Amino acid sequence: MKKSVLAACLLLLFANVTRSQITKGNLLLGGSTSFSSDKWGDSKSTSFSFAPNIGYFFVNNFAGGLRVQIDSYKEDGEDDAYVVTSFAPFIRYYFIPASKEQKVNIFVDGAYGFGSEGSGDTKSNMNGYSFMAGPAIFLNQHTALEFTLGYSSMKFEDVDDRYNTFKINIGFQIHLNAAKKKE
């Protein structure tokens, strides 16, 4: 019985998908987070990443905004965590125009960020850029689950080499209809 009720609720949720909010004047709120715990021999570490964002659709399918990212890495036995904090203006483009039947859209997102990194009292500046792309699966009119493949490159002050990363991410976005209705 419980499985039947759950299945019916999920069916209603997905059947209720109407028009995704990727049109001019709407807001985009969301982000992604991750946590990992590693063990290598006797060494243990944990890492955490949190990246909320807010955006605005300047034209249909095209949004710009600000993403804040906080990454923390700590090894067992260390007093302080290594923390990277960045602020990154971003732009995002959805390739498929909005329609009532649309449940999936494909997007690309690019950002350039700046911030600081360090551990304890030791801090330095950093900057970098990132790109990601993937599908946005609209669970209902205002909510999308995102799966992305991304690349980022960061340059830390007083370090010659860049830190490059390929990532697979899962994110969540809320699309709010902020456009004024014409009367």
- The span from the first CA to the last CA of the chain, in angstroms, equals 47
In this prediction, residue 88 has a pLDDT band, given cuts at 50, 70 and 90, of: very high
- State yes or no: pLDDT of 162 exceeds 90: yes
φ and ψ at 146, to 5 degrees? -120, 140
- State yes or no: pLDDT of 183 exceeds 60: no
Q: Where are the domains of the chain?
A: 2-176
Strand partners, 62: 59, 93
In this prediction, residue 89 has a pLDDT band, given cuts at 50, 70 and 90, of: very high
- State yes or no: pLDDT of 3 exceeds 70: no
Is the pTM here over 0.85, yes or no? Answer: no
- State yes or no: pLDDT of 120 exceeds 60: yes
Q: Give one DSSP letter per residue of 63-123, joined into a string.
A: EEEEEEEEEEEEETT-SS-EEEEEEEEEEEEESSPP-TT--EEEEEEEEEEEEEEEETTEE
For 2-176, CATH number out of 2.40.160.20, 3.40.50.970, 2.60.40.1180, 1.10.10.10 equals 2.40.160.20
pLDDT above 90 covers a percentage of the chain that reads 51
In this prediction, residue 179 has a pLDDT band, given cuts at 50, 70 and 90, of: low
| For range 86-98, the mean pLDDT | 93
> 27-80: per-residue pLDDT in tens?
999 998 888 888 888 888 898 889 999 999 999 999 999 999 999 998 888 888
